[in-house]
Structure formats: C-alpha cells, structure tokens
Amino acid sequence: MGSVKDLIVLKEPSKTLGIGRFVFSDRYSVFDYGVMPDMIDGKGKALCMLSAYFFERLEEEGINTHYLGVVEGGKVRRIDEIEEASNVMEIKLVRVVKPERRDGYDYSIFKTLKNNFLIPLEIIYRNSLPAGSSVFRRIKKGEISLEDLKLKEMPKPGERLKEPIIDFSTKLESEDRYLRINEAKEISGLSDEEMDELIRIALKVNEIINKETEKVGIVNEDGKIELAFDEKREFMVVDALGNPDECRFNFNGVEISKEVLRSYYRRTEWYKKIETIKGKKEWRKIVGPPPKLPPELIRIVSQMYMACCNEITSIKFFEVPKLRDVIKELTQIIGLER
C-alpha cells in the first residue's frame, strides 16, 4: 500500500471483485519521500471518516464507488451507525495491473484488459491555480496548452476559475508524471466515450465536495480522485477522497492540508537538498532523514485534521476546538516558526 495507509486483503480480486480493508494511519508523507519521522495523532481516523462521508454522498448521487462501510467492533457500518470515529474502512478490491518497465513504461496491457482493474491515472480537478501551480510552469514549457485545459485565456494566480479544469498524472510509475488528455486516454485503453464519462464523474465529484465544504466556509481549491472498472466495466470511484490529504482546502485564506507541513519543510536544509537531487538514483538515501517537526506544530496540525472532519461531517467525532480557532492558533505557530 502507500506510505500513509495499509491494506488488509480479505478476498483477493480475480475475475471478480475482492474485499479488503484500508487502515488509515497517523503517518504522513510529503515530496514523494515516503514515511516521515513523526505521527499526527487522530489524522488516520479523520481521513477515514471524511472519505467515508464523501463516499456516502457520492452514492446518494448515483456514483458507483468501492466503499462498503467503516469498521467498528468488527462490523461494517455506515457513518450514522457508528459510536466513535474509526480508522478502518471496508472496500471492494480490484486488480492493480502495473505497466511493464522497459526504456520507459509500456501500457499496452491496458488495451487488452476488460474489467475489474485500477485505471492507471490520478485524475486532478482544479478550481483555482495558486501562484506556484505546476500548470503555469507546464504551459510556459509547452508541455500543456490552454486548449488542453479548455481555458480561453491564461488565469491569474489564485483566481477562482469560471469552470473547473481536469488534469491528469500517472498513478503507477515510480514518480508522478503529468499527462495531456490524449496521453491519459491512450495509456488507459479508454474509448472516447469512456474518457468523456471519466471527466464527467470527476467534475461531479468536485461539485459534491464543493457543496459540502462551502457549507462550513472551507474552499475546495483542488484535489484528486482515482477510478477503476468494476466487473461490468463500469466506472467506480476508489481509494480515498474529500479529505486534507487528497484535496487542497482553504479556510479564511489558510491552507488546511498537507501544504502546512510542506511549507514548514521548505524552509529546511533537508528540502534544499531534495530540490537539487530529486529524481536521481537513490535520491532518498542521499538527502538523508528529514528533521522532526516541532511538538507544537504536530499538536495543532493534529487538531486541524480532526476539526476539519467534525465540521464537514457535522458530527463531533473529536474533542477539539472549532476549526476557526484551530486555524487562528495555527497561523500564530507558523508565524513563530518563520
């Protein structure tokens, strides 16, 4: 599994869907480094409950997902049936078929697969483009065009887009690589109609997350989802969604996502090493272990995750202050660290 959640396989996927359980941990990861040295208390439960909440909202809107429920006392339950937050979610499992590694990556196998597999894409929705967005850099280098993003003119940094844009990156390569829409369709073996449907689902998911976060004053700036084909070759939203690790949320102008932790590390000598050697062979060993976070920052980021969960779900799973109070203290702590 990934560096921040584990997978327990209860039934292996084959020609039919399997069954598994995600165990959301308190670990975190930034800059593709892998597991970082600290634990963020409550983070796993907050991410699990937020993902469960949004999976249930998607299902209400008729969107197919791999979600079966959250696990409490060994039983699989819906959110309104549980007594306290859980960090375990039961899900349907699909096959994860990886492209062959040669000079590059060979995705030809995806043209032969019929059903029950993970689509090898991260599908990114963007409602705004911050000043440092990769989109500006890619447009400048000619790696992507305004037309690719269905934009009529170059947006201003931080400007809320009139219409969200859908972007793509690889999912199953050693490092994420951005793709044009035609490349995304080609490597996944999708038809034109399937690609249109994939984009429609991504936009609908974004719309649902926007609706739920706006109720509590949170701005959903961008995020990502993953899709798979089920046994009938129908799209199914998989993995996790709608939480601060999958989305870039903003509250009163302050990021409430992993960006808080990235911002701290960007001021360290460790990150400066990453900037110069990332991508080289064994770069993680060369940069060495990251510095530990200050205890006060760990505490307030922990509260940030839990308060975000409380407010979006409208259920007080965690005994923490209101999000506005957490964010106020967070800005003070970050200010001191600067």
Instruction: Please list the residues that pair with 30 across neighbouring strands.
Output: none
Decide if pLDDT at 209 tops 60: yes
User: HSE (CB half, 13 Å, CA atoms) of 324?
Assistant: 3
Determine the pLDDT at residue 336.
Answer: 52
If phi > 0 it is left, if psi is from -120 to 50 it is alpha, else beta; for residue 178 that is beta
Unique residue bearing structure tokens 């409430």 = 256
Residues 40-88: tens digit of each pLDDT: 999 999 999 999 999 999 999 999 999 999 999 999 999 999 999 999 9
Residues 225-242: tens digit of each pLDDT: 999 999 999 999 999 999
**11/14 Cα distance (integer angstroms):** 9
Decide if pLDDT at 201 tops 70: yes
**Using 50, 70 and 90 to split pLDDT, how confident is the model at 338?**
very low
- 128 touches 158 (CB < 8 A): yes
Orientation of helix 181-188 relative to helix 192-214, angle to 10° = 110
Burial of residue 80, with CB atoms counted within 10 A of its CB: 0-12 exposed, 13-18 middle, 19 or more buried: exposed
Decide if pLDDT at 3 tops 80: no
Could you list the residue range(s) of the whole structural domain that residue 292 is in?
A: 5-337
Determine the pLDDT at residue 2.
Answer: 65
Q: What does the pLDDT average to over 133-138?
A: 88
**127/159 Cα distance (integer angstroms):** 9
Residues 139-157: tens digit of each pLDDT: 888 888 888 888 888 888 8
Determine the pLDDT at residue 25.
Answer: 96
Q: Which long-range contacts (CB under 8 A, 24 or more apart) does 182-187 make?
A: 184/121, 186/107, 187/99, 187/105, 187/107, 187/110, 187/120, 187/121
Alpha-carbon radius of gyration of the chain: 20
Residues 300-335: tens digit of each pLDDT: 999 999 999 999 999 999 999 999 999 999 999 887
Retrieve residue 257's tokens: 């996502």
Determine the pLDDT at residue 100.
Answer: 94
At 180 the three-state DSSP class reads coil
Dihedrals phi, psi of 301, to nearest 5 degrees: -70, -35
**118/93 Cα distance (integer angstroms):** 9
Q: Give kind and range of the element (H or E) at residue 46.
A: helix 43-60
> Where residue 227 sits, what CATH number does that domain have?
3.30.470.20
Decide if pLDDT at 39 tops 50: yes
- 117 touches 94 (CB < 8 A): yes
Q: What does the pLDDT average to over 94-103?
A: 92
Chain mean pLDDT for the chain: 93
Per cent of the chain over pLDDT 70 is 99
Query: Total domain count for the chain?
Result: 1
